[in-house]
Amino acid sequence: MSRSQFSRLSLCAAAIGALAITAFAIVPSRAAEEAVIIPAPAQDVQASDGLQTVVVAGGCFWGVQGVFQHTSGVVNAVSGYAGGSKGTADYDTVSTGSTGHAESVQIKYDPKKISYGKILQIFFSVAHDPTQLNRQGPDTGTQYRSAIFTTSDEQKKVADAYIAQLNAAKVYKKPIVTKVGPLEGFYPAEAYHQDYLTLHPSQPYIAYNDIPKVENLKKIFAENYTEKPTLVNSAKVTN
């Protein structure tokens, strides 16, 4: 059952919830099994003064946001929609898969503390599986596609080069399907989607699919992990 089929007003759909909790208690989650240790990018964006922004999409935004809220150097990570128009940027409409939007996360980061390349490495390694086309785990549809929405020509150049590098190294069993293109607009998601992983760690979908992503961040990128998440409602962004 996909995350979009869970009621927004009910954090546990009884039957599927019980199954998910049982599975999570017995075997490693799908997310944990799919984490891949990959090389760092050979190219990177040159560090500059002031905060930088990139928007990424990789399935349900709850887990992607949760990963980057636990990433040191990220000062804000907001769940939202990118790839479509402002008029269709709401959860119910985006969930139809007909808007062009992808569930996305806007990441604002301090380039003096973490590089753009490192963010991409985390994104490709633990935040999602970049070889799944128009889906991610249990969620299917173009709104769950893998994408990088860049905010500069340099960001796009580095992202394209990194994808080529990873494909050439054959670190995945299948080719990367992540699309890279300029960000034309980002629209924050509804308030109930923000900080979802932190607020609902025991929700079956989160426990099974997303908590292991944060655990893998801590394990694989220990030097980039921060225990205390930077939450949307507490983040202070000046740029």
Residues with a catalytic annotation lie at 60
Question: Which among 170, 146, 171 is positioned nearest to 159, based on CA atoms?
Answer: 146
List, as one string, the DSSP characters of 40-61: PPSS-PPP-SS-EEEEEEES-H
148 in helix, strand or coil?
Answer: strand
Contact 163, 25 (CB under 8 A): no
Return d(Cα 197, Cα 140) in angstroms, integer. Answer: 20
Helix (H, G, I), strand (E, B) or coil at 77: strand
